[in-house]
């Protein structure tokens, strides 16, 4: 009894993210000879996965289509574990960087406020020569404003690439990775 040919288009239509592979090696860097559970993921693979996941909600399915003749369930289990490990590691790293960036921004705002208060305090002291007061004001006022606005900028306006990467890894941590023959 002959098997029906696999309809790749219908598989792609059903999955939320479908990527067609020629071999399992398409997932990994060409320059990394280590086994699947240790190899570096390919920049091309990650780029295509990010592009495909951009408009998807959390809880997606990442379906990797592989030629039927090349399927190996043992390899697939190693690859799934490697993908999950990669996504978890990079999501955690992205979250940690976000927290550090916010902490640094708040520190800048606080330093700017302290500089501004010091400026106001020094300017209110009687008996200090005008040239000294003017010099302090020329230095501390812009320093205060610059530091405060830099802190707010870092706190409020997050780099788009960082936010997009974090969102991608957040989605992929929970993604169901499946291999489908074609």
Q: Which residues have a Cβ under 8 Å from the Cβ of 162 and sit 6 or more positions away? A: 94, 97, 98, 101
What angle, rounded to 10 degrees, do the helices at 73-124 and 130-156 form? 160
The answer to whether residue 1 scores a pLDDT higher than 70 is no
**What is the model's pLDDT at position 135?**
84
What does pLDDT average to over the chain? Answer: 88
**What is the model's pLDDT at position 113?**
96
- Is residue 128 situated within a structural domain? yes
Quick: pLDDT tens for 167-178: 999 999 999 999
Report residue 6's pLDDT band, with 50, 70 and 90 as the boundaries.
low
Quick: pLDDT tens for 33-48: 999 989 999 999 999 9
Are both 14 and 83 inside the same structural domain? yes
Domain span at residue 22 reads 8-93+172-181
Are both 85 and 104 inside the same structural domain? no
- Residue with the two structure tokens 């700017």: 112
Alpha carbon distance 171, 69 (integer Å): 30
Are both 83 and 14 inside the same structural domain? yes
pTM value?
0.73
- Is residue 2 situated within a structural domain? no
**What is the model's pLDDT at position 11?**
47
């Amino acid at each position: 009894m002959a098997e029906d040919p696999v309809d790749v288009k219908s598989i792609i239509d059903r999955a939320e993210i479908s990527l067609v592979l020629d071999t399992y090696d398409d997932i990994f860097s060409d320059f990394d000879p280590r086994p699947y559970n240790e190899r570096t993921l390919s920049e091309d693979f990650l780029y295509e996965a990010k592009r495909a996941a951009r408009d998807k909600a959390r809880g997606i399915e990442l379906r990797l289509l592989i030629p039927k003749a090349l399927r190996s369930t043992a390899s697939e289990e190693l690859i799934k574990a490697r993908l999950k490990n990669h996504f978890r590691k990079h999501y955690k790293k992205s979250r940690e960087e976000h927290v550090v960036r916010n902490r640094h921004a708040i520190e800048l705002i606080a330093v700017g406020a302290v500089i501004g208060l010091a400026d106001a305090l020094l300017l209110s002291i009687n008996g200090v020569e005008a040239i000294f007061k003017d010099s302090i004001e020329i230095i501390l006022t812009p320093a205060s404003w610059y530091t405060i606005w830099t802190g707010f900028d870092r706190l409020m306006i997050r780099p788009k690439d960082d936010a997009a990467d974090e969102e991608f890894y957040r989605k992929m941590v929970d993604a169901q990775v499946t291999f489908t023959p074609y």
